[in-house]
Amino acid sequence: MVGPPPRTWTIDPALSGAREVADRVWCLRLPLPWELIPHVNAYAIERSDGEVMLIDCGGWGDETSWSTLLHALNDAEIPLCRVTSLLLTHYHSDHAGTAGRLIDETGCTLYGHASHHHFTDALLHPRQIASARARRALREGVPAGELPAYQTVREELEGIIAPVIPERTLQEGLQIEGWRVLEVPGHAPSQVCLYREEDRVLIGADLFGSAYTPYMDYGCSEDPVQEYLDSLAKVEALRSALLLPGHGRPLAEVSSHLRLWRLGIEREREAVLAAVRSSSRGDAGDDRARHTAAPNRGGAHTDPRSFGGYAVAKRVAKEAMADSRQAPTVLANVLSHLRHLRLQGLIERREEADGSYHYVAC
Ligand SMILES: [Zn+2]
Ligand SMILES: [Zn+2]
């Protein structure tokens, strides 16, 4: 999820560019129309036979997205006809949006992970997924007036030109042109990294980067928080010399950034746990009062400790929750933490008579 749809999809292709960032690897810096995520990195890998494999291809919006990819390839002096394969690090629109057009134009082979339903479900069944998102938001205490921001499927419908299903499936340990595939779920169930042993270069996708901005696709896998922490640990063990991230600049200080991300996620988990514990003690303050005073579907909450996911999110990230562009992603992360804490046996989720949830410490 990359925020609400932008005011305009048009971007300036001239703002894209390419530079060689490792042996036979070009970073294609592609501007995006999304306000909160202004750029994404795709990578072009030159193979020994002269053909080129693209790693991701940028988002879709309108024709200028395609012109932008062409402009960056041109900057790297790579003619489009040399692109014979496309590997998606994961199925999010900013990485996969232009894939359908690229396949149409080149006939390239598509590599992707089999767990793409977290994204393609909304593409194939948008109304059903929008309803499911609205139901979940209501159960977590989102006020009815704020539902549109939480149930939207516009990113999936407008940020990608067409559904793309992988032709070749990415699995742990698969070797492609000297790069090893690592499955690293957490940010998204379909996410992979690529690691080249010979120079310890890691193409890290959205697992981590210089700016600490973790996002977890909630509701698409068992325990996104644990998956995220396990994925960070798996990558930490590689001792990579260079990270080529999905967003931002290449990083040489890989382990220190990995540590910061792990500590950041652990701190968020503690903050969510503390919020639930304080609500269970009855000192949740205004957030709880507002939640219990205004149940979203007309039913009265009978339990005075009622504290849904929305109220927890407002308690741990008040400022971000006040920004409608950020609030749905913050709530997704908080719900991921709440699920993780439930699985750890540290909190419980109870259901009110009106179907809404509240969380209490064990
Ligand atoms: Zn992503
Ligand atoms: Zn991304």
pLDDT tens per residue, range 277-307:
988 776 645 444 344 434 444 344 444 445 8
Average pLDDT over residues 184-201: 97
Q: How far is the CA of 178 from the centre of ligand 1 (A)?
A: 24
Q: How far is the CA of 49 from the centre of ligand 1 (A)?
A: 31
Q: How far is the CA of 183 from the centre of ligand 2 (A)?
A: 16
What pLDDT is attached to residue 35? 82
Closest ligand to 56 CA?
2
Kind of pairing, strands 242-245 and 201-205? parallel
Q: How far is the CA of 278 from the centre of ligand 2 (A)?
A: 34
Q: Where are the domains of the chain?
A: 13-264, 275-361
Q: How far is the CA of 362 from the centre of ligand 2 (A)?
A: 36
Closest ligand to 90 CA?
1
What's the CATH number for 275-361?
1.10.10
pLDDT higher than 80, residue 312: yes
Q: How far is the CA of 198 from the centre of ligand 1 (A)?
A: 27
pLDDT higher than 60, residue 151: yes
Rounded to 5°, angle at Cα 187 from 172 and 247: 100
Percent of the chain exceeding pLDDT 90 equals: 80
Q: How far is the CA of 159 from the centre of ligand 1 (A)?
A: 13
What's the CATH number for 13-264?
3.60.15.10
List the shell of residues around ion ligand 2, using CB closer than 5 Å: 94, 206, 246
Average pLDDT over residues 201-229: 95
Token pair of 69 as six digits: 């990819």
Kindly indicate the confidence band of residue 1, based on its pLDDT and cuts at 50, 70 and 90: low
The 3 state secondary structure assigned to 214-271 is: CCCCCCCCCCHHHHHHHHHHHHHCCCCCEEEECCCCCECCHHHHHHHHHHHHHHHHHH
List the shell of residues around ion ligand 1, using CB closer than 5 Å: 92, 206
- 8 Å CB contact between 114 and 332: no
Q: How far is the CA of 187 from the centre of ligand 1 (A)?
A: 7
What pLDDT is attached to residue 288? 45
Kindly indicate the confidence band of residue 146, based on its pLDDT and cuts at 50, 70 and 90: very high
The mean predicted confidence, pLDDT, of the chain is 91
Q: How far is the CA of 246 from the centre of ligand 2 (A)?
A: 6
Q: Which residues pair with 177 in a beta bridge?
A: none
Q: How far is the CA of 215 from the centre of ligand 2 (A)?
A: 10
What pLDDT is attached to residue 262? 96
